[in-house]
Chain A
Amino acid sequence: MNWFTKTFSSTIGRKIVMSITGLFLCSFLVVHLLGNLTLFRNDGGEAFNLYSHFMAHNGIIRTMEIVLLLGFLFHIYDAIVLNRRNSSARPINYAENHPEQNTGTWASRNMGLLGTVILVFLIIHLWNFFVPARFGGLDPVVIEDVEYENLYVRVVQSFQVWWYVLIYVLGMIALAYHLIHGFQSAFQSLGLTHKKYTPFIQIFGFAFSVLVCLGFAIIPIYFFFSQQ
């Protein structure tokens, strides 16, 4: 191994990868949420369908999609490697253990579990929206004489189902907890702490996590109740 691979396969190196990919995925969440907000425009899904079409066909976006995919893969791969390493670092568990008594938040101890829930959610989510949008299978819709895939209808239909809404809400709760710990933790892993700025990062990270996830979660709830 050369110094580069050595660095990124060390425990700290892998945490650096987790942090950078994690923050990158956070930035993706912002873009995704902003796009999703077009769902709330009362235009029968026109803006949303234009937006989703753009996302599915624009060259730059397509390139970023690969980067995003890599981000996910690295994040997940390193999480698995770290998790295995961490569990082998304690082959025999305590008969009695009370980590809840020493301040660490529940989320900080369960990032793997939260991550897995998010991954399951993600697969369902992609299967339902991304795959048909990207590879076909949606009904067409015509906007200003051009034919587009009608992702909007898929959204509306999907969120008629109560258990589907529930999956989304639960997925977003998991994501919120994941981010509440992950956001500020990334800065700690990257060594970006400072007496002046760290408190701000922590407050911002909390607000970010809650607001973004709330923003996502409102969509299925909104559609569930507005279409009743």
Chain B
Amino acid sequence: MAGNNPNAKLMNLTLKVWRQRNMNTPGQLVTYPVKNISPDMSFLEMLDVVNEELLIKGEDPIAFDHDCREGICGMCSLFINGRAHGPERGTTTCQLHMRSFKDNDTITIEPWRAAAFPVYKDLIVDRSAFDRIQQAGGYVSVNTGGVPDANEIPIPKTIADKAFDAATCIGCGACVAACKNASAMLFVSAKVSQLAMLPQGKVERKTRVENMVAQMDIEGFGACSNTGACAAECPVGISLENIAIMNREYISAKATSENVA
């Protein structure tokens, strides 16, 4: 009962899914044949169907992260057929639909792979490294209350728009997953450049970039090779320019800050 396409042909697929019981147990790819998949299903709804079948059989369902299913919360992940969030550009896995696949396709599904993102179970990874990087400085130090009127500081529209473009990062980790070095530069730079552009963020710009980059390195992410894979796979189109801005911020902070530690 497809909604918009009553004659849509149902598909049969072969899934190869990474199954791993927990962090301390090695995992492997397991093959599952899947039948009668509607092209109108989202990718995650297809996995829901698989999981319901597994459950009925008494088998452990495939664990995967997901929440809003509208492409904004950043919780869903999945490396699908060799691509972060699957084959479509500018799309999270939850917004990927099965019409992007063909009947009898084999689909390989793996978790994000990075030392900083250890696998909890199956396709679920621990992305708390991202939170720790944000905690290192991804904020403006203002307490609640005692702030000036919102219109006190005019901000040129072009700057506000650019800052917004950087601020749309959903923190999904596709940039790390797609990068050959598992580098988090795009993620970190999105916040650094957003706040470096805005007058509110300029006050702490030096300590912010120093601390966030230091934390990024502690977490064990790789370095940037400027391949551009991160920006290409970013579901919200965070630009590579942010990385350049962060590099610039970093150099100028290191050269001029009074932090000698």
Contacts and interface: CB of A to CB of B under 8 A. Distances in A.
Contacts, number: 141
A14 B223 contact: yes
B182 interface: yes
Interface residues of B, number: 51
Looking at A89, A104, A189, A191, the one whose CB has the most chain B CB atoms below 10 A away is: A89
* Interface SS of B by simple majority: mixed
Given A10-B214, A90-B115, A181 B226 contact: yes
Interface stretch (A60-68, A93-101, A125-133, A219-227): A93-101
B55 to A, nearest CB: 26
Interface stretch (B76-84, B141-149, B197-205): B76-84
Interface stretch (B39-47, B60-68, B227-235): B227-235
A21 interface: no
Interface residues of A, number: 42
A218 interface: no
A109 B243 CA distance: 17
A188 interface: yes
B225 A108 contact: yes
Interface in B189-247: 213-214, 216-217, 220-229, 232-233, 240-241, 243-247
A10 B115 contact: no
Given A3-B261, A96-B81, A102-B233, A89 B222 contact: yes
Interface in A177-213: 181, 185, 187-193
B249 A15 contact: no
B218 to A, nearest CB: 10
Given A85-B223, A90-B115, A189 B228 contact: no
Interface of B: 16, 18, 29, 79, 81-83, 87, 108, 110, 113-116, 178, 180-183, 185, 213-214, 216-217, 220-229, 232-233, 240-241, 243-251, 254, 259-261
